[in-house]
């Protein structure tokens, strides 16, 4: 907490804040959650911005042998690079990292991965005619 009483979160989780003055105190529990945006929003952010997205893994990091994965939510899909976590197709995950550009496409670089659960893999899109 700074001198003006502003509390700044340094990470995700739960915290109890207690304030005291002249022998009287009060406490409050707070939950800090990460700011997550839809994949389509993350893809449109400026290169170099930090982004957090959640979605379903479409290809695991070892699929192409390059430590990348592809993730989809209901808005779009994106590639995460530099993945060291053990996640698999169908896992529900949160990716956090810097937005970069590879071959003209937005990617989340050196993405940190948090596994949230396991889901059904979405059906592939129908081909355009």
Cβ atoms of 53 and 38 closer than 8 Å: yes
Cβ atoms of 67 and 86 closer than 8 Å: no
In a domain, 86, yes or no: yes
Q: Please, which pLDDT band fits residue 123 given cuts at 50, 70 and 90?
A: low
In a domain, 12, yes or no: no
So what's the pLDDT on residue 111?
84
**CATH code of the domain containing 44:** 2.40.50.200
Q: Please, which pLDDT band fits residue 38 given cuts at 50, 70 and 90?
A: very high
Cβ atoms of 37 and 52 closer than 8 Å: yes
DSSP code of 60? -
So what's the pLDDT on residue 129?
56
In a domain, 9, yes or no: no
So what's the pLDDT on residue 73?
93
pLDDT in tens, 58-102: 998 888 888 999 999 999 999 999 998 889 999 999 999 999 999
Return mean pLDDT, the chain.
86
In a domain, 27, yes or no: no
Categorise residue 108: left if φ over 0, alpha if ψ from -120 to 50, beta otherwise. Answer: beta
In a domain, 90, yes or no: yes
DSSP code of 66? S
SS3 at position 23: coil
Whether 125 has a pLDDT exceeding 80, the answer reads no
Distances (CA, A) of 33 to 9, 14, 30, 91: 10, 9, 10, 20
* Cα distance between residue 49 and residue 23, in whole Å: 45
Count of domains for the chain: 1
Q: What percent of the chain has pLDDT over 90?
A: 51
Whether 115 has a pLDDT exceeding 60, the answer reads yes
Mean pLDDT of 100-105: 94
Q: What percent of the chain has pLDDT over 70?
A: 84
DSSP code of 74? S
Residue 108: name the closest of 38, 55, 52 by CA.
52
In a domain, 11, yes or no: no
Q: Residue 46's domain spans which residues?
A: 39-118
């Amino acid at each position: 907490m700074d001198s003006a009483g502003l509390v700044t979160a340094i990470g995700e989780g739960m915290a109890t804040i207690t304030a005291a003055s002249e022998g009287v105190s009060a406490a409050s529990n707070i939950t800090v959650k990460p700011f997550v945006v839809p994949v389509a929003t993350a893809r449109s952010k400026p290169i170099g911005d930090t982004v957090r997205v959640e979605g379903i893994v479409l290809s695991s990091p070892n699929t192409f042998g390059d430590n990348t994965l592809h993730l989809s939510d209901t808005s779009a899909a994106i590639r995460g690079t530099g993945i060291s976590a053990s996640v698999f197709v169908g896992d529900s995950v949160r990716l956090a990292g810097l937005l970069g550009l590879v071959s003209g496409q937005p990617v989340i670089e050196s993405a940190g991965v948090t596994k949230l659960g396991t889901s059904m893999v979405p059906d592939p899109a129908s081909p355009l005619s």
